[in-house]
Structure 1
Amino acid sequence: MSELVELRLRDRRISLGARGGDILGYEFGPADRPVDLVFSHANGFNARTYRSILAPLGARWRVLMVDMRGHGRTELPDEVEGRDSWLDLRDDLLALIEAEGLSNVVLSGHSMGGCVSLLASAEAPAAVRSLVLFDPVIIPEDKGPPKPEVLNSPLAVGARNRRAVFASKVAVVEAYRGRGAFRAWSEDMLVDYVTDGFRDTDDGQVTLACKPAWEASNFTSHGQDPYDAFDRSVCPIHILRAEVGSTCRVDDQIDRLTQGGRIRIETVPGTSHFLPMERPELVREALEAAMRA
């Protein structure tokens, strides 16, 4: 691959005022209709990663994908000192909803982005039409300081030790292609991730846009309570979780959560935590159904 593909998306820069800066992302679909869908990405990724998965929806729907704090092109502060939850990410999403005057919108996300969407829906019931969550991170609230096994989990340690600097974005693609978490990814998905996942440095190299310390912080900061958000939300919720290695750990609560039918939890056979990359057509079907409802 001699160069990275440039894609035609509408750039979005939205000021979050008191939140400390601007949140950036992309938009596609008819510009003359209200935003139908806001999509939030997984920890360590960025909005553009999901471009090839979501772009076909733009034939009818207006879709906004945003880079969360500490990721991609977003310019919000990413200090980890004293951080113990994802409530800062929740409040960024709530500020975006307010800044854009969104209403009757579907919130969706993958992994951390799914959990953050759930947390936001509980605080803004009048604005959120429904939720579609892809293997969201759902674990019980854990008050108090993080336990050593969380601080030193393989995910957190791996994030802290992740190689941050490469010679070029092309070199990153070559290094990642077909390896580790990227084994099931298409070339477009990988190129999209790298395009906004790395930033140029003054010495002509590229470095991770999501700093290793910030990625690790997201793996260790779980002071949020998703079960409280489930209870306080009022909109329909559709969860598609992985069959293998799911981060949606709700088995002991599944009967309570799904009682009444407002919350649907579906395990997708043959999928891992990277369900959106493995089953993009299923992602689009679920989102289409939510936006048509």
Structure 2
Amino acid sequence: MAAITYEELQVPVSGGHLTVLHWPATVRPQGDGPAPTVLALHGITSNAMSWAGVAHHLGGRVTLVAPDLRGRAGSSDLPGPYGIAVHADDAVALSRALGLGDVILAGHSMGAFVAAVAAVRHPGHFRSLLLVDGGVGFPVPEGLTSDELVTAVIGPAMDRLKTTFPDRDAYRAFWRGHPAFASSWEPWTEAHIQRDLVGTEPQLRSSCRIDAVRTDGADALGEETTAAVHRLAVPAELLWAERGLLDEPQALYDDERLKAAGIGDTKIRTRMVPGTNHYTLLLGDDGARTVAGSLLAATGAADPDGS
């Protein structure tokens, strides 16, 4: 399959501009209408390039638009306030600014919670949702401050935000040593981590603003955010990873946790993706292919691999 190229856009939102990656459809759709569109939202310490593997497996059948969320990568200078509702409104603002229609809204991890809130705050704006290992509440420790709660869930990621790296090779080595990537490292994985770096050697650091991560993390775990999936008026699919953030056996979701979340009477259908963890469900080859397949099914576009 040929490489899928993208362009970088600046899209006006409240307080400034979001940096947005745009992978245009290159395959003429059946009929006279435009190619279907997916708006894709990344996780709490991630960036838009996390969707590059999905773009690869979409094979030009779908237009894919992915912003760097406020406080990250190309949008790191966009000021607060932060929070899930703010990101949700940003997603709708960029959708309107780009004139996107008949949109499938996708989100990974925190981005899935943003997607659910966006669909509730802006009813009728999105055709359906794809939630990738997020969006549905999961058990969290009790009796902790908001900072402690966020650290308990994404502790190693918070540590990374406070660390400086002497060069890009050191940052690559940090990620190559992460247990989630022990058996999976793709070209788009490399592009994703390198997009995160800012500063100059020997003081490179993550572009993610710690204040944004703290605010968004506490907000994502709050009752108002986790209630959104129970109020969805559009169909949604949850793809959940078999393993956790550190490739541990206990994933964010399992059958028991999903049953306890009470989503059986919602519009959400669920599917576990074997052999994936929280990161590789989006950044690994098998995971990206599965996510792309769900999006192709949701948009009605043909599978680029013909399977």
Do the two structures share a fold, i.e. TM-score over 0.5?
A: yes
The range that moved more, 110-119 or 262-271, is 262-271
Supply the AA of the counterpart residue of 2:165: F
Does structure 2 conserve the Cα–Cα contact (< 8 Å) formed by 1:20 and 1:76? Answer: no
Instruction: Please give the alpha-carbon distance, in whole angstroms, between the structure 2 residues aligned to 1:230 and 1:174.
Output: 37
Q: Structure 1 stretches of 5 or more lacking a match?
A: 1-5
> Would you say 1:258 and 2:254 are equivalent positions?
no
Instruction: Report the 3-state secondary structure (helix = DSSP H, G, I; strand = E; otherwise coil) of the residue aligned with 1:59.
Output: coil
Does structure 2 conserve the Cα–Cα contact (< 8 Å) formed by 1:53 and 1:280? Answer: yes
Instruction: Please give the alpha-carbon distance, in whole angstroms, between the structure 2 residues aligned to 1:111 and 1:212.
Output: 17
The percent identity for this pair of structures is 24
1:285 aligns with one of 272, 293, 296: 293
Aligned to 1:63: 64
Instruction: Please give the alpha-carbon distance, in whole angstroms, between the structure 2 residues aligned to 1:273 and 1:219.
Output: 16
Does structure 2 conserve the Cα–Cα contact (< 8 Å) formed by 1:38 and 1:107? Answer: yes
The range that moved more, 235-244 or 266-275, is 266-275
Instruction: Please give the alpha-carbon distance, in whole angstroms, between the structure 1 residues aligned to 2:37 and 2:60.
Output: 12
Give the alignment's TM-score, normalised by structure 1.
Answer: 0.81
Instruction: Report the 3-state secondary structure (helix = DSSP H, G, I; strand = E; otherwise coil) of the residue aligned with 1:165.
Output: coil
Alpha carbons of structure 1 residues 75 and 276: separation in structure 2 relative to 1, 3 Å = closer
Aligned residue runs from structure 1 range 11-50, under 5 A = 11-16=8-13, 19-30=14-25, 33=34, 36-50=37-51
Instruction: Report the 3-state secondary structure (helix = DSSP H, G, I; strand = E; otherwise coil) of the residue aligned with 2:104.
Output: strand
Does structure 2 conserve the Cα–Cα contact (< 8 Å) formed by 1:67 and 1:73? Answer: yes
> Would you say 1:148 and 2:144 are equivalent positions?
yes
Aligned to 1:195: 194
Q: Structure 2 stretches of 5 or more lacking a match?
A: 29-33, 245-250, 302-307
Give the alignment's TM-score, normalised by structure 2.
Answer: 0.78
> Would you say 1:107 and 2:99 are equivalent positions?
no
1:232-269: CA deviations, max 9, x gaps?
32211011112333335532134xx3337x32012223
The 4+ residue runs of structure 1 with deviation greater than 4 A are none
Supply the AA of the counterpart residue of 1:11: E
Alpha carbons of structure 1 residues 120 and 98: separation in structure 2 relative to 1, 3 Å = same
1:183-221: CA deviations, max 9, x gaps?
3442413311222101133x6642210134433443333
Instruction: Report the 3-state secondary structure (helix = DSSP H, G, I; strand = E; otherwise coil) of the residue aligned with 1:267.
Output: strand
Aligned length: 276
Aligned residue runs from structure 1 range 90-129, under 5 A = 90-129=88-127
